[in-house]
Amino acid sequence: MRKYALIIAAAALAASCTFPHPVSVELIIPEEHPFEAAFSETMWFTLSYFDGKEIIEKHVPKGRRRIRVAVRSGSLSVFSLRPLGELGALGGFFEPGDDRSVMMLGEYGSFAEMLLRAASFRPEAVGRLSMESVLDACPDLQAADEISFMEDIFNGTLSYGITENEEIPFTIDSLASGSWIPERYDLQPIDVPFSGRPQQMLLYPGVYRYAEASRNLLLILSVSEDGSISHMITAMPSW
């Protein structure tokens, strides 16, 4: 009887290693988003994540900084948290062998959003990715050419390496005076002593947001891979 019990236990263990099963992962939001600090108010978030099979969306209310979700074992999971449902995302990843606490970071947001778009078309290909290998090849995900990366996912050519962009220098001279706070802690604020003073910038291609709290303004800055720059200034979304 004991022999049969051991065989059954071994078979169950093998099955658990072979077949996907739910794994509980905790997502951790940094204690204070830069915009929360600038406006002295907490934000709500929209969570979108790929659990290894499908994309799921949830609302995260104000003040909640830890979210527990279930994902499939044996697959890469991708997480995106959008403040107020529309600002730049915080991103995070979980794959087999990782710690089950995932810190959500602004510098991973754009890459995570790209993987979610890819997963909506090719979930199996995204699920097979190793973010450990991706980060070994491209430690700064902001430098990754996301368009080329998505094409490589669809074409199965990632083994040939990751194409990286270079930072693009440019000048912006249409900002009102004040301190424009970036939505990511890894970026520097834009301090404008008087309106219209030219500001020298150096950024990777992508979309960046800066808030001027005293004027309740939001700068949305888009840097294209061909070096073209566009920007828009709007009122901050209310929350």
- Taking only the tens place, the pLDDT of each residue in 101-133 is 999 999 999 999 999 999 999 999 999 999 999
Provide the residue count of the chain. Answer: 239
Whether residue 180 is contained in a domain is answered as yes
Rounded Cα–Cα distance for residues 184 and 56 (Å)? 25
pLDDT at 230 exceeding the cut of 50: yes
**What pLDDT is attached to residue 160?**
59
Residue 45's nearest CA partner among 82, 89, 86, 79 is: 82
Does residue 82 share a domain with residue 194? no
Residues ≥6 apart with Cβ < 8 Å to 192: 175, 176, 177, 178, 179, 180, 199
Task: Report the percent of the chain where pLDDT is more than 90.
Answer: 77
Does residue 142 share a domain with residue 205? no
Q: Considering 101, 125, 160, which residue would you say is the last residue of a domain?
A: 160
Helix, strand or coil for residue 65?
coil
Residue 199's nearest CA partner among 208, 190, 210 is: 190
Q: Considering 160, 192, 225, which residue would you say is the last residue of a domain?
A: 160
Does residue 148 share a domain with residue 174? no
**22 sits in which H/E element:** strand 22-28
Helix, strand or coil for residue 122?
coil
- Name the residue with higher pLDDT: 173 or 210: 210
CATH of the domain at 144: 2.60.40.1120
pLDDT at 14 exceeding the cut of 80: no
Overall pTM > 0.85: yes
**What pLDDT is attached to residue 211?**
97
pLDDT at 67 exceeding the cut of 90: yes
Residues ≥6 apart with Cβ < 8 Å to 48: 55, 56, 57, 79, 80, 82, 116
Rounded Cα–Cα distance for residues 233 and 175 (Å)? 9
Does residue 87 share a domain with residue 202? no
Helix, strand or coil for residue 193?
coil
Whether residue 220 is contained in a domain is answered as yes
Helix, strand or coil for residue 93?
strand
- Determine the structural domain holding residue 34 and report its residue range: 15-160
CA distances from 204 to 21, 183, 207, 224 (A): 38, 15, 9, 8
